[in-house]
């Protein structure tokens, strides 16, 4: 269990390192170019990892690429929105807004997958939604005194919410895919599809980076790939309900890096909203763990009665 927690914490640090590199370069390059580098160079650690596990061929061959279309579309669109948010918001704010994803996932699972969500979790969803409104309120309220900065801030908040919505849909698709596809296949085809889709934007014009920015663009992809590997590996050593709350540690990394690298001071209102969303998210996780244990107990009880 402790290994799973350690891997989860390492994955949050890797993803924040990726986000930091994206933020350092995103303003000077087309978003499609940045996304391409994030996806394409993530292939390096991914292919090495699959090769070491002996799953490289099976992840590519033993699958139906058509099964991955909706997941890839939702994930790639979510990445576009999230990177747009990073460009226009302080790192802690963009990170905090992404915490709405688990709350939205619970709501969408009830609406689109017809999963049973009772009043306890709906209450947590409502509280999380209120926290989301608190988080974005400083950026939207700045529109009452419009200037270039407030416009970008509001745009960043809107893009962040769009990214959270797309990520929630992508999570639902991964849930369905995981019942028939290998984890390696899901990650590989998403990375490949995002590389191809974003690579097509070269026709709109890209900017040749200098060596410093080039290293940052390559590094964002490698750290994104490493983060995905660490995240996937963490689930092999501990239950999802145990390690999922540690995802919120990424806000701590974002606060530290945002302050020392970008001089971003955390907005108290955004942090208050993030705290509300985190409490709601952890409540949903705990409840889902309780329900999972209950279902498992009922299955074991039924098995014993039948033997």
Q: Would you say residue 202 lies in a domain?
A: yes
Q: Would you say residue 149 lies in a domain?
A: yes
Q: Would you say residue 290 lies in a domain?
A: no
Q: Would you say residue 295 lies in a domain?
A: no
Q: Would you say residue 225 lies in a domain?
A: yes
User: pLDDT tens digit string along 63-115?
Assistant: 888 889 999 999 999 999 999 999 999 999 999 999 998 889 888 888 888 88
Number of compact structural domains in the chain: 1
User: pLDDT tens digit string along 193-228?
Assistant: 999 999 999 999 999 999 999 999 999 999 999 999
Q: Would you say residue 297 lies in a domain?
A: no
Q: Would you say residue 303 lies in a domain?
A: no
In terms of Cβ atoms closer than 10 Å to its own Cβ (0-12, 13-18, 19+), residue 196 is middle
Provide the 3-class DSSP secondary structure of residue 235: coil
Q: How confident is the model at residue 299 (pLDDT cuts 50, 70, 90)?
A: low
Q: Which domain holds residue 34?
A: 2-282
**Helix ranges (DSSP H) in 41-147:** 43-52, 56-61, 69-88, 91-97, 100-112, 119-141
Q: Would you say residue 271 lies in a domain?
A: yes
Contact (CB, 8 A) for 109 and 117:
yes
């Amino acid at each position: 269990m402790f290994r799973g927690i350690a891997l989860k914490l390492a994955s949050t640090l890797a993803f924040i390192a990726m986000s930091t590199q994206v933020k350092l370069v995103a303003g000077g390059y087309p978003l499609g170019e940045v996304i391409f580098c994030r996806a394409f160079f993530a292939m390096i650690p991914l292919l090495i990892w699959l090769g070491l596990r002996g799953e490289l061929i099976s992840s590519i061959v033993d699958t139906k690429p058509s099964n991955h279309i909706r997941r890839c579309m939702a994930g790639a669109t979510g990445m576009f929105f999230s990177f747009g948010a990073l460009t226009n918001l302080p790192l802690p704010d963009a990170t905090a807004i992404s915490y709405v994803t688990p709350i939205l996932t619970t709501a969408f699972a009830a609406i689109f997958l017809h999963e049973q969500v009772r009043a306890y979790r709906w209450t947590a969803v409502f509280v999380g939604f209120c926290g989301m409104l608190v988080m974005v309120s400083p950026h939207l309220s700045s529109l009452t005194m419009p200037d270039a900065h407030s416009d970008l801030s509001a745009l960043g908040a809107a893009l962040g919410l769009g990214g959270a919505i797309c990520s929630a849909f992508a999570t639902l698709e991964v849930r369905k895919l995981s019942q028939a596809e290998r984890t390696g296949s899901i990650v590989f085809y998403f990375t490949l599809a995002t590389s191809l889709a974003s690579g097509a934007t070269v026709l709109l014009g890209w900017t040749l980076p200098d060596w410093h920015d080039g290293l940052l663009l390559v590094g964002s992809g490698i750290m994104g790939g490493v983060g995905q590997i660490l995240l996937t590996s963490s689930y092999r050593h501990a239950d999802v309900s145990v390690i999922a709350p540690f995802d919120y540690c990424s806000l701590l990394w974002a606060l530290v890096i945002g302050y020392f690298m970008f001089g971003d001071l955390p907005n108290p209102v955004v942090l208050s909203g993030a705290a509300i969303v985190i409490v709601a998210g952890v409540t949903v996780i705990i409840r889902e763990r309780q329900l999972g244990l209950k279902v498992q107990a009922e299955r074991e009880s039924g098995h014993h009665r039948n033997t």
